A and B are shown apart, each in its own frame.
Chain A
């Protein structure tokens, strides 16, 4: 469950934590867009590096590394599938360019995970809900969203208990080939999903019995306000977006393979 650990919010104070969640969200979206418009390894590596100062500033290095470690398995699958497909379409030969593009796609995934992780590590669920509400997202949706986020650690804990319960019945999760291993998780996933659904129904009933949605117009104790740091981040965000678009349009990005061939 290390992936979830990488998304768990802990209350700390840092310049990044205090930023307006709306701007942070836009920033993450821009990183997303940039990661998707580039398929080459160099700009993706640059995008990866851009996040590092944020992580350091926010002081969440450990958690961030853990989330990256959690993503290793999926990243490996992405690399392998891309590599195998290109391997087959290239006529069963290994071409350096193909390896590189598979690596680039994997890096794209890592960048997505990384920026997501930075966002969730530094934004409290309450802040997030506030941001959604104050951008006029209907309260039902923003509430559903914050609840989902808030229940991630609960679910992770529950998954651990379920794994223990099934291990106590002789289930060996790490046994067998890949397919068998995936199937080993069925006895864990079904109780997890069932209990999540059950819990959501119970939550809905509990909330309705406490008059949820009784008032149409809600007010908030805290109101989000843009501060200096937020404008700085907004500037950086716009900068990244502009740079990404301009590079995409006007610069031909060499692949690593081409660069290396140029050197040798």
Chain B
């Protein structure tokens, strides 16, 4: 569980990135933090594993205040996958890359081996075990970065812009993967611009703007509310847009799910076969 209590954060260069944020993310929740560039999304999630400490206010991770412990201690439970995999890959082989964190956390040699195999398998990277991570494609590097964090099985997973540079198929895999993690009661927090991806996943959404949270609620409500979205400079997902446009024909507005949309449209077509 992550509790943020009235947090303010100012960067050393004087930029005030967070202005009084309060929120709670419960265990097993799936949250998407959205907002335009510079809204403070990444700054906020960097507080969740102690990379940044609040200038004012408190952040508690599983009851521990982040200022009291090291990043390494927090990271054991809170895995953070950075946006750009090239900011972390450095090993000669994918296998070594994945075992790096495990060694840092002091896992035993035989456990490391098993976990690396497990993580490689989980993300379909087994054939690259002995390959240099620098030889892989962008999407594959992103998966290696993810695998290197999943390997230690953190209870909370933060993904910063996980869909950037990924093709549709990879996005779908990622979605399936998140759903699978959800069944294991993992807390998942994604930071993203990708409205369509969020609409498909349907998580709890927090909208940020200028270092503040401007909306917090279910995807179905927030992603179909053009006023709230425009405040955070986000456009409606396509399905919501269509239903918005059709709303004067009596169709419901709050639809973001493709299956739900199909159901409603079929029903309408049956009523008016012309």
User: In the complex, are the beta carbons of A162 and B80 less than 8 A apart?
Assistant: no
**A161-B82, A172-B104, A194-B134 given as contacts; is B75 within 8 A of A167 (CB)?**
yes
Pick from B46, B70, B152: contact of A172, CB under 8 Å: B70
**A164-B46, A169-B101 given as contacts; is B86 within 8 A of A195 (CB)?**
yes
A68 to B105, CA, bound (A): 36
* B76 touches A (CB below 8 Å): yes
Cβ contacts under 8 Å, B105 to chain A: 170
Q: Which of B20-28, B87-95, B179-187 contacts A (4 or more CB under 8 A)?
A: B87-95
- Chain B: residues with Cβ within 8 Å of the partner, total of 25
User: In the complex, are the beta carbons of B88 and A169 less than 8 A apart?
Assistant: yes
A169 to B103, CA, bound (A): 10
A190 to B90, CA, bound (A): 6
* A191 touches B (CB below 8 Å): yes
User: In the complex, are the beta carbons of A167 and B51 less than 8 A apart?
Assistant: yes
Residues B69-91 near A (CB distance < 8 A)? 70-72, 75-76, 79-80, 82, 84, 86-90
A164 to B83, CA, bound (A): 12
- Chain A: residues with Cβ within 8 Å of the partner, total of 19
* A186 touches B (CB below 8 Å): yes
User: In the complex, are the beta carbons of B80 and A168 less than 8 A apart?
Assistant: yes
Closest to B103 in A: A170
- From residue A1, how far is it (CB to closest CB) to chain B in Å? 11
**A158-B87, A164-B51, A165-B88 given as contacts; is B75 within 8 A of A170 (CB)?**
yes
- From residue A64, how far is it (CB to closest CB) to chain B in Å? 17
Cβ contacts under 8 Å, A162 to chain B: 87-88
User: In the complex, are the beta carbons of A168 and B86 less than 8 A apart?
Assistant: no
Pick from A168, A171, A195, A198: contact of B82, CB under 8 Å: A168
Closest to B92 in A: A190
User: In the complex, are the beta carbons of A164 and B82 less than 8 A apart?
Assistant: yes
**A170-B72, A172-B72 given as contacts; is B88 within 8 A of A186 (CB)?**
no
Cβ contacts under 8 Å, B51 to chain A: 164, 167-168
Closest to B78 in A: A168
**A164-B46, A164-B51, A194-B134 given as contacts; is B104 within 8 A of A169 (CB)?**
yes
**A158-B87, A191-B86 given as contacts; is B46 within 8 A of A170 (CB)?**
no
User: In the complex, are the beta carbons of B90 and A168 less than 8 A apart?
Assistant: no
**A167-B75, A169-B149 given as contacts; is B90 within 8 A of A191 (CB)?**
yes
* A187 touches B (CB below 8 Å): yes
* A134 touches B (CB below 8 Å): no
- From residue A188, how far is it (CB to closest CB) to chain B in Å? 8
Cβ contacts under 8 Å, B82 to chain A: 161, 164-165, 168
* A166 touches B (CB below 8 Å): yes
* B49 touches A (CB below 8 Å): yes
User: In the complex, are the beta carbons of A168 and B148 less than 8 A apart?
Assistant: no
User: In the complex, are the beta carbons of A191 and B89 less than 8 A apart?
Assistant: yes
User: In the complex, are the beta carbons of A171 and B104 less than 8 A apart?
Assistant: yes
- From residue B67, how far is it (CB to closest CB) to chain A in Å? 15
A158 to B152, CA, bound (A): 26
A172 to B86, CA, bound (A): 19
Residues B131-149 near A (CB distance < 8 A)? 134, 148-149
Closest to B84 in A: A161
Cβ contacts under 8 Å, A186 to chain B: 90
Pick from A161, A171, A172: contact of B87, CB under 8 Å: A161
Cβ contacts under 8 Å, B148 to chain A: 169
A162 to B71, CA, bound (A): 14
Cβ contacts under 8 Å, B89 to chain A: 191, 194
Cβ contacts under 8 Å, B87 to chain A: 158, 161-162, 165, 191, 195
User: In the complex, are the beta carbons of B100 and A169 less than 8 A apart?
Assistant: yes
User: In the complex, are the beta carbons of A168 and B104 less than 8 A apart?
Assistant: no
**A191-B88, A191-B90 given as contacts; is B100 within 8 A of A168 (CB)?**
no
Cβ contacts under 8 Å, A164 to chain B: 46, 51, 82
| Interface mask (A153-188 → B, CB under 8 Å = 1, otherwise 0) | 000001001101111111110000000000000110
- From residue B138, how far is it (CB to closest CB) to chain A in Å? 11
- From residue B45, how far is it (CB to closest CB) to chain A in Å? 10
Closest to A171 in B: B104
A162 to B145, CA, bound (A): 13
Residue pairs across A and B with Cβ atoms less than 8 A apart, 25 shown, are: A158-B87, A161-B82, A164-B46, A164-B51, A165-B80, A165-B82, A168-B51, A168-B71, A168-B75, A168-B80, A168-B82, A168-B149, A169-B101, A169-B149, A170-B72, A170-B101, A170-B104, A172-B70, A186-B90, A191-B86, A191-B89, A191-B90, A194-B90, A194-B134, A195-B86
In order of increasing CB-CB distance, the 6 nearest A-B pairs are A170-B104, A190-B90, A169-B101, A168-B80, A165-B88, A165-B82
Add 8 more A-B contacts to A169-B104, A172-B70, A198-B86 (CB < 8 A).
A165-B80, A169-B149, A170-B75, A170-B76, A187-B90, A191-B90, A194-B89, A194-B90
